[in-house]
Chain A
Amino acid sequence: MKALVCVKRVIDYNVKPRVKADGTGVDLANVKMSMNPFDEIAVEEAIRLKEKGVVTEIVAVSVGPAKAQETLRTALAMGADRAILVVSEDEVEPLAVAKIVKAIADEEQPGLIITGKQAIDDDANQVGQMVAALLGRPQGTFANEVAVEGDSIVVKREIDGGLETVKLALPAIVTTDLRLNEPRYASLPNIMKAKSKPLATKAPADYGVDIAARLKTLKVTEPPVRSAGIKVPDVDALVAKLKEMGVA
């Protein structure tokens, strides 16, 4: 079974984003960029399924700027077999990304599509579900554990009240939550090897997808700032404060 893994190049999760002074967006110039952490978990899960003999080939896909090939090289260094980069220097919304992934899935016919549950830049949490809808296939979102059983996949999902288990007919789409696995680091020899793995470069038009934005961003602003309050010296002072607030 072939697995398609979708990865996004985003601001590194350790970087504190800064809103541009002109209110048009977040300043990404000279900011460290990395693979979306949830997508790293997706790549790792595909590799583990390959190590178990369930998956035979892993194709990593990214829709993003030309520089996203670094992100795909990371996926290849971790263990993906080949990569497809669909280049757009403009931001591509989740719906358009989903349409591109759908078109790639139509060509590649994967048994499983794995991606992060959300990207930590736009926090949309949409692509996996949209791909599933467009393909008319089931979705196992926020996966905590997956197991392929014959022609179906059992997905344990993280939900608000705890965990839920669903069984999905393959081909299926899985989106990863934090505790599905702990992604490996690529070793130096694998990083070297990844440089010679195939990486195809495409354009949205190659898949007949219109990526014109449906949402107009009118402005981007800083959230209301919380200022630091006071420090109390000891528990008695804290208790007094809580009593003042009517909490205790």
Chain B
Amino acid sequence: MSKTLVWVEHDNASVKDATLAVVTAAAQMGEVTALVAGSGCDAAAAAAAQIAGVAKVLKADDAAYANALAENVAPLVAGLMADYDAFVAPATTTGKNIAPRVAALLDVMQVSDILSVEGPKTFTRPIYAGNAIATVESTDAKIVVTVRGTAFAKADATGGSAAVEAVGGAGDAGLSTFIGSEIAKSERPELTSAKIIVSGGRALKDAETFAATITPLADKLGAGIGASRAAVDAGYVPNDYQVGQTGKIVAPEVYIAVGISGAIQHLAGMKDSKTIIAINKDEDAPIFQVADIGLVGDLFSVVPELTGKL
């Protein structure tokens, strides 16, 4: 049975949801060892040990690993990979930053954003903004993959009782320094795990109108808020709201697209949603070709009315 090393995404205290789908994908490839690299990350390691399906946890606790700088953690992972057959990371911005660096250190061609595990070295993955699905087989001795979170069920966060083993690496490579971050604090569900998402497009006019129109509806539904690239580029909302080919890939139960025309790049990020609802005044908008329920109308009257009637 092959041995997989899973990158655990965490904030040193708890494990992020994205990790759970990765554990499911890795379990389809072999035995799962979870790597928690961080600084003061005992709590995260303990949480990782409880994930169902995790056989062992490796904890690399070092100030150099605090912010998952790729220059520091990639050599750690590459070193540990001597004992593993596959490195499995989430296709989050952290995973996407680290995994290719690991792959190159191992002289392995990475398989990005896998949708399914078809065999020991065979995977499906989206290409061309999800307009085609490629089935690829790796010929490398070791495997490096990133996992699309929406394509795999989440492993149970509890039920496991893996042993935690401390490991060390070279620490600080001396190439990069973490300066700071601007993370929006929000009570709202995270986009990638929200059950309902209300998403707004360019038609929302400006930041104030976006907030005044979309937020009350999202509040009413307990929904996450997303946006099209156009809305983000225009400064209505921050970059982390962007749903699409190069933004976040989401698959909620219900996706409500408000004033979004439906460019292929946007559809790539949300077309796996269970139910898509589109509100747009242009009845020929491409969004209606993928929407389960469409309402043609002026969003500035429709959305407040909808919010009021829910």
Taking beta carbons and an 8 Å cutoff, which residues of A are in contact with B?
A: 11, 13, 16-19, 25-26, 38, 93-95, 98, 117-118, 120-134, 136-139, 141-142, 144, 154, 157-169, 177-179, 213-223, 226, 228-232, 234-239, 241-242, 245, 247-248
Given contacts A139-B97, A218-B135, A242-B310, contact A229 B128 (CB under 8 A): no
Among B100, B192, B221, which residue has its beta carbon within 8 angstroms of that of A247? Answer: B221
Which one of B43-51, B102-110, B159-167, B205-213 is at the interface?
Answer: B102-110
Min Cβ gap B79→A in Å is 13
A221 cross-chain contacts in B, Cβ below 8 A: 132-133, 135
- Is the CB–CB distance between B111 and A162 below 8 Å? no
Q: Once bound together, how far apart are the Cα atoms of A182 and B139, in whole Å?
A: 40
- Is the CB–CB distance between A238 and B240 below 8 Å? no
- Is the CB–CB distance between B137 and A215 below 8 Å? yes
A162 cross-chain contacts in B, Cβ below 8 A: 181-184, 238-240
- Is the CB–CB distance between B181 and A228 below 8 Å? no
B134 at the interface (CB under 8 A from A): yes
Q: Once bound together, how far apart are the Cα atoms of A136 and B178, in whole Å?
A: 18
- Is the CB–CB distance between B176 and A98 below 8 Å? no
Which one of B26-34, B57-65, B284-292 is at the interface?
Answer: B284-292
Q: Once bound together, how far apart are the Cα atoms of A231 and B292, in whole Å?
A: 8
Given contacts A123-B245, A247-B196, contact A220 B132 (CB under 8 A): yes
The 7 closest A-B pairs by CB, nearest first: A214-B109, A229-B292, A129-B100, A133-B104, A130-B104, A138-B175, A126-B100
- Is the CB–CB distance between A215 and B71 below 8 Å? no
At the interface, is chain B mostly helix, strand, loop or mixed? mixed
A178 cross-chain contacts in B, Cβ below 8 A: 229, 232-233, 239, 242, 246
Q: Once bound together, how far apart are the Cα atoms of A159 and B240, in whole Å?
A: 7
At the interface, is chain A mostly helix, strand, loop or mixed? mixed
B246 cross-chain contacts in A, Cβ below 8 A: 38, 117-118, 120, 177-178
- Is the CB–CB distance between A122 and B296 below 8 Å? no
- Is the CB–CB distance between B233 and A229 below 8 Å? no
Q: Once bound together, how far apart are the Cα atoms of A164 and B291, in whole Å?
A: 35
Most B-side CB within 10 Å, residue of A163, A166, A236, A237: A166
Among B104, B232, B233, B265, which residue has its beta carbon within 8 angstroms of that of A134? Answer: B104
- Is the CB–CB distance between B71 and A139 below 8 Å? yes
B240 cross-chain contacts in A, Cβ below 8 A: 158-162
Among B108, B132, B245, B306, which residue has its beta carbon within 8 angstroms of that of A222? Answer: B132
Interface residues as binary, B167-194 with A (CB distance below 8 Å gives 1, 0 otherwise)? 0000001111111111110000000100
Chain A, Cβ-Cβ closest to B110: A126
Q: Once bound together, how far apart are the Cα atoms of A208 and B181, in whole Å?
A: 41
Chain A, Cβ-Cβ closest to B223: A247
Min Cβ gap B36→A in Å is 18
B96 at the interface (CB under 8 A from A): yes
- Is the CB–CB distance between A133 and B101 below 8 Å? yes
Pairs across A and B, CB under 8 Å, 10 listed:
A95-B110, A120-B129, A120-B245, A141-B70, A161-B181, A167-B179, A179-B233, A218-B137, A223-B132, A235-B306
